[in-house]
Amino acid sequence: MSSVQLTAGICSRLADTSELNDDLLDSKPTVQILSVKKVGSASGPNTNDRYRAIVSDGEHFFQAMLATQLNKLVDSGEITKHSIVSIDKFTCNKVQEKRLLIILDMHVIIQEHDKIGNPVNAGEQATPAVQKTPALGAPTTASSSTIPQTTTNPPKRQGSTPAARGKGTPFPIEGLSPYQNHWMIKARVTNKSDIKVWSNQRGEGKLFSVVLMDDTGEIKATGFNAAVDTLYDKFEEGKVYWISKAKVQLAKKQFSTLSNEYELQLDRSTEVEECHDTTGLPTIRYNFVSLGSLEEHPKDSIIDVIGVVTDIASPSEFTNRLGRQSVKREITLVDRSGFSVRCTLWGKHAENFNHPGNPIVALKGVKVSDFGGRSLSTTGAVAIDVDPDIAESHALRGWFDAGGNNEQFKAQSNSFGGGGGSSTFSREEIRSLNDVKDSGLGTSDKPEFFSARATVMHVKNDNIAYPACPTQGCNKKVFDQHDGWRCEKCDRSYERPEYRYIISLAVADYSGQLWLQGFNDLGLALFNKPANDVVEAKDRDEAEFNKIMESAIGVTYNFTCRAKQDTYNDQTRVRYGVQKIIPLNYKEEANYLMGLLSTPWAQ
């Protein structure tokens, strides 16, 4: 059928209990997948699945776990039963003198193939199985009827401190489970929380947590009270440590977004020692998602993104509904998909994000929000890396500096918030204005969105701006009280207001005309100056004001609009709001038309 050659004897070699050597680890064996199966877990729907596989060299088979970043190969159907694969990177987890293969990277050589040979279990061949039943009902990562579920053989003791024993092979994080008591991991801290103090009816205390990562996986470690005193200062974000003697327990999923069924509890006896030899430890392992594909990721899912920062807002303080003070800061990211997205940073990440220019930022573990279409929000366990030294980062830098910075980005997050899913401009879905009216768009309960290309015909000039609260983000109308302008929301007065646009404009395309409503962003796009300037001109010089108004007329834009029915004075009508106004980029438009000419129906 084909000339593929499985790596002879590899399963026996893996099952052998002698030390792993570099030759073996670098060998990139070719094997056949005999089966691949999701390992169930006890916790709810937010569970992070993991796959167990049986691999074969044609003569023997062997148990393997796939690192979670390989899940997509299985989910997409790329890897299936009997696929022939190359294992590009792996490690082994020694369990009671038997090994469990942990596949860190692999690729498909032949997706569909007949079963090769009649392999027998390499593990059984190598040593007699020592079966030990796990506690009833206890979920385990690597548990199955065929993998012996055992306690780990303790690493050979060469000394009493982790550093002295550090020369041995570290235990892989992926293999940690409550059944393993004697292990020592070598891990990088990718996130360290602030110290949190709590007080509730059951008592009070303090805690902190770190996220630990090696090249097999990541795990959260939490320390309470006394452990905060002994360990908090010891951990530093980005550094690598030998860690042992922490308790492995079931992860409390409500406090964690990591893909690990377990977490560590740090206590008095936990040993932590910084490790300066960081060989083999990746900085952070990412699974980047394109900003253009955010719509495909449901609200509240956790993803990794990388992008160029095009805007960094000032940090702002706010009080949440529980009365707790917090700091947030919004940054805007763009990537080569041509999309932009807004990301909210919280707490110390918000305070510390001071990077001038257009840095590249890699975010591991951000939460997808549906605010304003799609936006992002950091979680407690996020890892933020500015200008990381990784391939994706350099590629983005090159693209951005070579002209990407001049692109017009499609916004995943519109400026007005509350939008539905389709608030991004789509050239393919431009509707004619008459069609929008005739089709009754927006006459249902919920708002409907559409894209349009239209020319400004008229801007109502009688009430173009209102005096607003100058506090960033307030925007509330303020009232002249002679000794100042009062904001009810902020409960204070200001010397002068900040005018903000409130716009009503008529636009037309080939089919007809439509009245659109919009606010400050729309006015800024139309007049290229803040509302204060326009109000000032109107008071000072009517002719200049008229000139400003006229300057907006006759210009064509791409729009994203929101059609929504409302009732005012007993009259129900559909109002059309401008979600986004995009100046035409003629090069882009021409390229699009050129593309159309090469489609089959244009031929």
Partner DNA sequence: CCCCCCCC
Q: Which residues bind DNA (CB under 7 A)?
A: 193, 196, 198, 200, 202-203, 205, 207, 209, 222, 224-225, 247, 249, 252, 254-255, 265, 318, 320-322, 324, 326, 328, 344, 346-347, 367, 369, 371-372, 375, 377, 379-381, 417, 473
| Residue closer to DNA, measured from CB, 169 or 265 | 265
Token reading at 423? 């608030």
| Residue closer to DNA, measured from CB, 398 or 421 | 421
Task: Find the shortest distance in angstroms from Cβ 172 to DNA.
Answer: 23
Task: Find the shortest distance in angstroms from Cβ 265 to DNA.
Answer: 6
Alpha helices in 76-167 (DSSP H): 122-126, 162-165
| Residue closer to DNA, measured from CB, 248 or 433 | 248
* Beta carbons of 356 and 382 less than 8 angstroms apart: no
Task: Find the shortest distance in angstroms from Cβ 371 to DNA.
Answer: 3
Task: Find the shortest distance in angstroms from Cβ 230 to DNA.
Answer: 13
* Beta carbons of 298 and 421 less than 8 angstroms apart: no
Task: Find the shortest distance in angstroms from Cβ 235 to DNA.
Answer: 15
Question: In the 8-state DSSP scheme, what is residue 568?
Answer: E
Which residues sit opposite 307 in a β-bridge? 361
| Residue closer to DNA, measured from CB, 144 or 379 | 379
C-alpha distances in Å from residue 292, one per residue of 56, 396, 502, 573, 580: 39, 15, 31, 34, 17
| Residue closer to DNA, measured from CB, 282 or 417 | 417
How far apart CA 291 and CA 294 sit, in angstroms, is 6
Question: In the 8-state DSSP scheme, what is residue 169?
Answer: P
How far apart CA 280 and CA 336 sit, in angstroms, is 30
Task: Find the shortest distance in angstroms from Cβ 209 to DNA.
Answer: 6
Task: Find the shortest distance in angstroms from Cβ 342 to DNA.
Answer: 8
How far apart CA 300 and CA 257 sit, in angstroms, is 10
3-state SS, one letter per residue, for 44-63: CCCCCCEEEEEEECCCEEEE
How far apart CA 464 and CA 76 sit, in angstroms, is 53
Task: Find the shortest distance in angstroms from Cβ 197 to DNA.
Answer: 8
Question: In the 8-state DSSP scheme, what is residue 528?
Answer: S
Q: Find where tokens 């780990």 sit.
A: 152
Task: Find the shortest distance in angstroms from Cβ 455 to DNA.
Answer: 32
Task: Find the shortest distance in angstroms from Cβ 444 to DNA.
Answer: 24
How far apart CA 294 and CA 316 sit, in angstroms, is 26
* Beta carbons of 337 and 292 less than 8 angstroms apart: yes
| Residue closer to DNA, measured from CB, 269 or 326 | 326
In the three-class reduction of DSSP (H, G, I as helix; E, B as strand; rest coil), residue 14 is classed as helix
| Residue closer to DNA, measured from CB, 378 or 451 | 378
| Residue closer to DNA, measured from CB, 239 or 247 | 247
CA 89 to chain centre: 25
| Residue closer to DNA, measured from CB, 247 or 538 | 247
Got the DSSP string for 79-129?
S-TT-EEEEEEEEEEEETTEEEEEEEEEEEEESS-PPPS--EEHHHHHS--
**Cα dihedral sign for 331, 335, 340, 342?**
negative
| Residue closer to DNA, measured from CB, 43 or 585 | 43
